[in-house]
Structure 1
Amino acid sequence: MVSPKNSEDNIAQPLIENNSFLPQYSSTEPTNVTNGSVLTPTGSINFNMSFVFSLLVSFGALLFASTVWYIASSVDYFFFIWHPTLMAMVLLMATQGSAVLQKAESRQEKDASLNFHKLMQSITFLSVIGGFYVTYTFKAEGNKEHFTSPHGKSGLITFLLILIQTIAGSTLVNFPGVVGGAAKARGMYKYHRISGYLVLFLVWLTALGGTQADWTKSQFDHLWVWLLAAGMVLVGTIGGINSNKLKVR
C-alpha cells in the first residue's frame, strides 16, 4: 500500500505496510550510508560505515552492561543489587533500540527496525520502573533520604524522561488520533527522535555517575573500561546519525 505523497514532510510510504497510522518515509529519502575502503596487498576493500558504527554501539553497550552484571554476580546477594542489574538492562536496551533505527535504510529494514525498537523500548520501560522501585524501596527501608546525590538526582530526571519518551513514542505510532491524526503524528516524529538522543545521553551520563559510587569502585575500580564503552557508543551513535532525519521544518 502506498499513500499519497505529503509534500510538507517529504513522506510517501508507510513504515509498515497496511498501516497508515505509523510514521511514513519517502522511498527517495537520502540515506546515511557511507562507504569506506581499506587498502590491502590485493587491492582495496569496501565496507559499509553504517554497519561499522552500529557494531561500535553494540559492543560498547554490551561491554558496559556485561561489566555491571559481572560485578552483580560476584558479590553476596542483597536486595539493592537488582538496581544496577536492571539499570544495566535499561542502558543496553535503550542504546540498541536507538541504534537499530539509525542503520535502517531499505523499506524492509525500516519495517523490521521499528518492531525491534518497540520491543527494546518496552523492555527499557519495564526495567527502569523496576530499577527505580528497587532503589526507592531500599532507601525507604533504611530510613535514608532520597535523591540527595548527583547520581540520584540525574537518575530521577532520566527516569521521568524515559517514561515520557516511551509514552510519547507509543502514542505517535499507535494512537496518532491523540495528537490530531496521522499527518500531525508524522510531523512530530522528528522531535521524538531528537529527544530520544537527549534521553540516551542522560542514561549514559547517569550510568557513568553510578560507576563512581563508593560501592561500585570498591568492587571494580577500572575507570578505563567504563570510558572505553561510553566512547565506543558515542563515536558509533554520532557517526550513524542521519542528519536528514533530524531536520525540523
Structure 2
Amino acid sequence: MVAPRRRSDSQRPLLDEEEAADVDDISPTTDDDSTGRIALADPDDDEPKPSGPFLRALNMAPTTRDRWSLGLLAAGIALFLPLTWTLVLTADVAALGYFAPHPPLNALAITLFALGVAPVQPPTPPPGVRALRLATHQRVLAGFAVPLMAVGTSFMWWNKEVHGAAHYTTWHAWFGCATLLWVLVQALVGGLSVWAGGAAFGGGAKAKAVYKYHRLSGYLLIGLSLATAFLAGGYSTWAVSRGPAYTPLRVGAFYIGIPLIAIGLGLRIRTSKMKFA
C-alpha cells in the first residue's frame, strides 16, 4: 500500500493574520479513536443551522454563542425600531413638521448599523464567505445606514433652524452631532482601508493595521449611537411629552430594546481580531 503523499510547504494554504487569530475561537476536542489526536470540533454538528439561505451563506452563527447573541440582537431590534416608529406615527405628524422624519430615519439607521456590523463579527470563515461578509457590511452601512443617518439628522437641524431654536442644548444633541461626524469619518477610513487592496494606506499589513483600528472604532461608535437614541427616547422633552400612555412604548424601545442590541453585539465581539500588541 502506497502512503499518501504529503503536500510540500509551498502547496499548503496559508492563513492570513485574521484567520490565524481566529483559530482559537473554535474549541478543540479529542477524537474518539483513542489515538490522542486533536481535531477541531464542528460547532454545528448538533445544533440547528440558522434559518434562511442568506444567513447560511454568510455563516452568521457558527457557534452557540453567536446564535444566542443573534437572538438577543433580533429581540432588541424588534422592540426598538417598530416602537420608535409607533411613538412618532401615533402623534400629530403634520404638527411635528421637519422633526417628524428625524426619529424614524435615525432609528432605522442605527438598526442598519447593528445589522451591518453583525456579519463581520463571527470567526473568520473561508475566503469566499469572508468576501461576502465584507461586501454585505459595506453595502448595508455605506449604501443605507450612513445616508439615512445624515438625512435624519439634517431634518432635526433644519427643524431647529426654521423655528429659531438653539442648537446643541442637550446631551442628546451633542452626542448626535458627534455620532454623525464620526460616522462619516468611519465610513471613509473603512472604505479606504479595503478599496483597491487598501492602497490609500500602503496596502498589505499597513492597510490591515488600519482596518483593525477601524473595527474597534466601529464598536465605540455604535455604542455612542445607541446611547444617543437612549437619551432621546428616555429623556428628550418631546418623548416625555407623549405622556404616561406612551411610557410602555418608551420603556420597550429604549430601556429594553437598546440594551438587548448592545448585549447582542457585545457577545459577538472577537478580541482576537483586534490584537494591538
Q: Which runs of 5+ in 2 are unaligned?
A: 1-9, 29-45, 49-63
Q: What does residue range 136-155 of structure 1 map to in structure 2 within 5 Å?
A: 136-155=157-176
Separation (CA, whole Å) in 2 of partners of 1:190 and 1:55: 26
C-alpha displacement of 1:33 = 5.4
Structure 1, residues 153-207: CA drift from partner, whole Å, max 9, x if none?
1111111111111111011111422212233111221111111010000000000
- SS of the residue 2:101 aligns to: helix
User: Structure 1 vs Structure 2: percent identity of aligned residues?
Assistant: 23
Separation (CA, whole Å) in 2 of partners of 1:56 and 1:142: 40
2:76 is matched by which residue type in structure 1?
G
C-alpha displacement of 1:110 = 1.9
Q: Which runs of 5+ in 1 are unaligned?
A: 6-10, 14-23, 36-44
Residue from 214, 226, 247 that aligns with 1:221: 247
Separation (CA, whole Å) in 2 of partners of 1:32 and 1:238: 15
Separation (CA, whole Å) in 2 of partners of 1:215 and 1:114: 38
TM-score (norm 2): 0.73
Separation (CA, whole Å) in 1 of partners of 2:27 and 2:86: 36
- Asked if structure 1 preserves the Cα contact closer than 8 Å seen for 2:21 and 2:272, the reply is no
What is the root-mean-square deviation of aligned Cα atoms in Å?
Answer: 2.4
- Asked if structure 2 preserves the Cα contact closer than 8 Å seen for 1:30 and 1:244, the reply is no
- Does 2:118 match 1:118? no
Aligned to 2:189: 168
Separation (CA, whole Å) in 2 of partners of 1:141 and 1:224: 31
- Judging by fraction of residues, say which structure has more strand: 1
Separation (CA, whole Å) in 1 of partners of 2:187 and 2:123: 20
- Asked if structure 1 preserves the Cα contact closer than 8 Å seen for 2:76 and 2:259, the reply is yes
- Asked if structure 1 preserves the Cα contact closer than 8 Å seen for 2:18 and 2:273, the reply is no
1:218 is matched by which residue type in structure 2?
S
- Asked if structure 1 preserves the Cα contact closer than 8 Å seen for 2:121 and 2:269, the reply is yes
Separation (CA, whole Å) in 1 of partners of 2:26 and 2:240: 40
C-alpha displacement of 1:32 = 3.5
- Does 2:56 match 1:29? no
Of structures 1 and 2, the larger Rg is shown by: 2
- Does 2:203 match 1:181? yes
Q: What does residue range 1-249 of structure 1 map to in structure 2 within 5 Å?
A: 12=15, 25-26=18-19, 29-30=22-23, 32=25, 48-77=64-93, 78-103=97-122, 105-107=124-126, 108-122=128-142, 123-175=144-196, 176-211=198-233, 212-219=235-242, 220-222=246-248, 223-225=250-252, 226-249=254-277
Runs (4 or more) in structure 1 with deviation over 4 Å come to none
TM-score (norm 1): 0.80
- SS of the residue 2:100 aligns to: helix
